[in-house]
C-alpha cells in the first residue's frame, strides 16, 4: 500500500467536497464569507489589522480549477485570513542561547515546529521582528523559499518567537477552521501548483504577492469541521498502517537474522550421514589444520555444532589481509584505460551481496602501494561500520578501509561463506576483536584467529538453498509492503 499516495488522495477528496456528505442545513459558505468580511472590516477600523489587497470574485466560476458542491464558494486566501507576512529579511545575530527562539525553514515540519539545533536572538532584535511578524499558537507557517518550499504546519508553540523570511506567517480569521486551511495548503492541488510556479536562480522561492492570489475552495464552517475530523481519522489510520509496516519490516529483518543463526548452528536443514565430515575436508585443504575433535586445547568453543561439523580458525582456510591506500590518493587517480579498478565503499549497494563495478581507477604505480584483489575474493568493511561482507565480481585494488578474505581451497562455498559472515554471530566475533577509540578497526591477524563453524560441503549447499528459499519468501512480503 502506497500510504503517501493515500494521504494525498484523502486531501484531494476533501478539497473537492467528496470526503464527507454535504448537509443542506449548513449555513452556506457565501454567508460565512460575508461574516468574515464584516469581522475584518471591524478589525481594520479598530486598527488591529491592515486592509488586504484582494477580494473574492465568487461569480467568476470559469476561472476556478473545478466545480464546487452546493453551499461552497471560491475565494482568495486573503478573504479568510487576517494577515499574511513573512519573517525578517535580514539575518539577525543568533546564538545557541538567548532571549527568544529564532525559527527558520529547517525547523518547520509537517507535524509542527522542531526545536533541534534551535538558535536564539536578543530581546531587542526579537521585538523589532515581532512588531511586523507575530506568530501565535494556531497560526499557519509556510516555507516559501528553497528546496522545502510548500512544507506547511500549524504553529504548536505557545510562546513568542522570531521568524526568518523563508517562512510565511498566515493568520486565519476566527470564522474559518485553521486546520481546514492547513490541509488545503498540504493538498496535491495546492502543493503542485506552488512548486510549478517557483521562480529564482540558485534558491527558488514564491513571494507573498503570489500567496495572496491563491484561490481557496471554502465549505460551510460546519462542513470544514466535519472534513477535518474525517481527514484526521484517516491520517491516524494511515499512521497505524505505516507503523505496522515498519514493525513488519523490523520483524522480517529479525527473521532473516534468525534463519542465519539456525543455519550456522546446524539447525536449518538435517544432517546427512553420507556427507564427508568437515574434518576430512579440513585435513585435505590444510594438513596442518587444528581439528577440534583431536585437540582438546583448541580453546573454549562458542557453541555446540553437529558431529559432522568442525570449528576452524578463519585464517586456516582463508588468506586475510588489509588493504592499502596510496597517498594522497588524488595523485594516483586516472581515467586512462590502463588504470586499475579502485574499489571503494561507495561502490557497494544497500543490502547488496556483490561489488559488480567501480567508479574510479588508479594508475599502476598507485597499485604498488595498495593491495590487489581478485574476482571471487571477499571484502569485509573495516571501519566504523565494520564487518559487512561483499563478494567481488571485479579485480582491482582496495584501500585500508577493507579487509580481503581470499579462500584457500574449497572449505566454504562462496554463498555459504557470505551468509556465515553476514550472521550476527560473525558480527559479534569481529566486534570482540575490533580495536580503536572513536573509530573501530579490524586487525587482519585477529580476524584470522576468530573461530567459525565448518559444515560438510554438501550440507553447505543444502543450507544455502534453504536460506535463499526462505529469504525469497520474506522478500516477497517486504515487496508487498511497498506496493
Structural contact between residues 408 and 321, judged by C-beta atoms closer than 8 angstroms? no
> Which are the contacts of 392, defined by CB distance < 8 A and separation ≥ 6?
343, 354, 355, 373, 374, 375, 376, 377, 378, 379
Model confidence at 210: pLDDT above 70: yes
pLDDT of residue 443: 84
Model confidence at 463: pLDDT above 70: yes
pLDDT of residue 60: 47
Question: Which of 121, 114, 113, 99 has the alpha carbon at shortest distance from 155?
Answer: 113
pLDDT of residue 53: 62
Distances (CA, A) of 371 to 50, 339, 401, 407: 73, 14, 11, 16
Ranking 111-115, 220-224, 291-295, 347-351 by mean pLDDT, the lowest is 291-295
pLDDT of residue 398: 95
Structural contact between residues 405 and 380, judged by C-beta atoms closer than 8 angstroms? yes
Residue with the three cell numbers 477552521: 177
Q: What confidence tens digit (pLDDT) does each residue in 67-93 have? A: 999 999 999 999 999 999 999 998 899
E strand or H helix that includes residue 43: helix 29-45
Model confidence at 441: pLDDT above 80: no
E strand or H helix that includes residue 381: strand 378-381
CB atoms inside a 10 Å sphere around CB 158: 8
At 294, the pLDDT band (50, 70, 90 cuts) reads very low
pLDDT of residue 440: 66
Model confidence at 3: pLDDT above 60: yes
pLDDT of residue 408: 79
* Averaged pLDDT of the chain: 90
Whether residue 115 has a cis bond before it, omega within 30° of 0: no
Continuous H helices in 55-164: 123-130
User: Could you tell me which residue, 436 or 386, shows the higher pLDDT?
Assistant: 386
Apex CA 339: angle with CA 337 and CA 345, to 5°? 120
At 257, the pLDDT band (50, 70, 90 cuts) reads very high
pLDDT of residue 300: 79
At 258, the pLDDT band (50, 70, 90 cuts) reads very high
Model confidence at 299: pLDDT above 70: no
Task: Show the cell assigned to 26.
Answer: 449548513
At 56, the pLDDT band (50, 70, 90 cuts) reads very low
User: Could you tell me which residue, 436 or 287, shows the higher pLDDT?
Assistant: 287
Cα separation, 333 vs 130, in Å, equals 54
Cα separation, 360 vs 327, in Å, equals 15
pLDDT of residue 384: 58
Cα separation, 340 vs 403, in Å, equals 18
pLDDT of residue 438: 52
At 176, the pLDDT band (50, 70, 90 cuts) reads very high
Model confidence at 58: pLDDT above 50: no
Model confidence at 154: pLDDT above 50: yes
pLDDT of residue 1: 66
388: Cα separation from own chain's centroid: 20
Model confidence at 236: pLDDT above 80: yes
At residue 457, φ and ψ (nearest 5 deg) are -55, -45
Give 384-419 as a DSSP string: TTTT-EEEESS-EEE-TTEEEEEE-TTSS-HHHHHH
Model confidence at 222: pLDDT above 90: yes
Mean of the pLDDT values across residues 10-19?
Answer: 96
Structural contact between residues 408 and 317, judged by C-beta atoms closer than 8 angstroms? yes
Model confidence at 358: pLDDT above 90: yes
Mean of the pLDDT values across residues 354-363?
Answer: 94
Model confidence at 234: pLDDT above 80: yes
pLDDT of residue 295: 46
Amino acid at each position: 500500500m502506497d500510504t503517501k499516495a493515500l494521504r494525498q488522495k484523502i486531501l484531494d477528496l476533501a478539497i473537492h467536497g467528496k470526503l464527507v456528505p454535504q448537509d443542506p442545513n449548513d449555513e452556506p459558505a457565501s454567508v460565512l464569507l460575508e461574516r468574515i468580511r464584516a469581522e475584518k472590516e471591524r478589525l481594520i477600523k479598530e486598527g488591529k489589522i491592515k486592509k488586504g489587497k484582494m477580494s473574492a470574485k465568487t461569480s467568476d466560476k470559469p476561472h476556478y480549477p473545478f466545480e464546487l458542491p452546493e453551499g461552497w464558494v471560491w475565494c482568495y486566501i486573503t478573504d479568510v485570513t487576517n494577515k499574511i507576512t513573512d519573517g525578517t529579511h535580514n539575518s539577525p545575530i543568533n546564538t545557541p542561547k538567548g532571549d527568544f527562539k529564532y525559527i527558520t525553514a529547517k525547523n518547520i515540519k509537517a507535524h509542527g515546529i522542531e526545536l533541534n539545533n534551535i538558535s536564539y536572538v536578543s530581546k531587542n532584535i526579537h521585538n523589532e521582528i515581532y512588531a511586523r511578524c507575530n506568530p501565535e499558537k494556531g497560526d499557519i507557517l509556510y516555507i516559501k523559499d528553497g528546496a522545502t518550499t510548500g512544507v506547511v504546519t500549524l504553529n504548536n508553540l505557545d510562546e513568542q518567537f522570531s521568524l526568518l523570511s523563508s517562512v510565511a506567517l498566515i493568520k486565519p480569521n476566527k470564522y474559518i477552521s485553521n486546520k481546514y486551511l492547513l490541509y488545503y495548503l498540504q493538498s496535491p492541488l495546492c502543493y503542485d501548483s506552488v512548486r510549478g510556479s517557483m521562480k529564482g536562480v540558485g534558491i527558488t522561492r514564491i513571494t507573498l504577492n503570489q500567496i495572496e492570489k491563491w484561490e481557496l475552495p471554502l465549505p460551510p464552517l460546519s462542513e470544514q469541521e466535519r472534513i477535518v475530523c474525517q481527514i484526521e481519522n484517516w491520517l491516524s489510520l494511515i499512521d497505524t498502517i505505516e507503523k505496522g509496516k515498519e514493525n513488519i519490516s523490523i520483524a522480517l529483518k529479525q527473521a532473516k537474522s534468525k534463519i542465519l543463526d539456525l543455519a550456522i548452528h546446524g539447525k536449518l536443514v538435517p544432517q546427512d550421514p553420507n556427507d564427508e565430515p568437515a574434518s576430512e575436508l579440513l585435513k585435505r585443504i590444510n594438513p596442518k589444520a587444528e581439528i577440534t575433535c583431536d585437540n582438546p586445547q583448541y580453546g573454549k568453543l562458542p557453541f555446540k555444532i553437529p558431529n559432522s561439523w568442525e570449528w576452524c580458525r578463519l585464517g586456516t582456510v582463508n588468506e586475510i589481509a588489509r588493504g592499502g591506500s596510496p597517498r594522497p590518493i588524488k595523485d594516483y587517480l586516472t581515467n586512462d584505460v590502463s588504470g586499475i579498478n579502485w574499489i571503494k565503499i561507495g561502490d557497494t549497494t544497500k543490502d547488496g551481496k556483490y561489488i559488480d563495478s567501480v567508479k574510479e581507477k588508479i594508475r599502476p604505480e598507485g597499485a604498488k602501494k595498495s593491495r590487489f584483489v581478485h574476482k571471487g575474493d571477499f571484502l569485509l568493511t573495516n571501519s566504523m561500520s565494520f564487518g559487512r561482507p561483499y563478494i567481488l565480481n571485479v579485480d582491482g585494488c582496495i584501500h585500508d578501509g577493507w579487509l580481503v578474505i581470499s579462500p584457500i581451497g574449497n572449505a566454504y562455498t562462496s554463498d555459504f561463506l557470505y551468509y556465515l559472515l553476514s550472521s550476527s554471530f560473525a558480527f559479534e566475533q569481529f566486534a570482540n576483536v575490533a580495536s580503536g577509540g572513536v573509530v573501530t578497526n579490524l586487525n587482519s591477524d585477529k580476524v584470522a584467529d576468530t573461530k567459525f563453524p565448518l559444515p560438510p560441503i554438501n550440507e553447505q549447499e543444502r543450507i544455502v538453498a534453504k536460506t535463499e528459499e526462505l529469504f525469497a519468501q520474506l522478500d516477497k512480503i517486504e515487496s508487498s509492503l511497498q506496493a
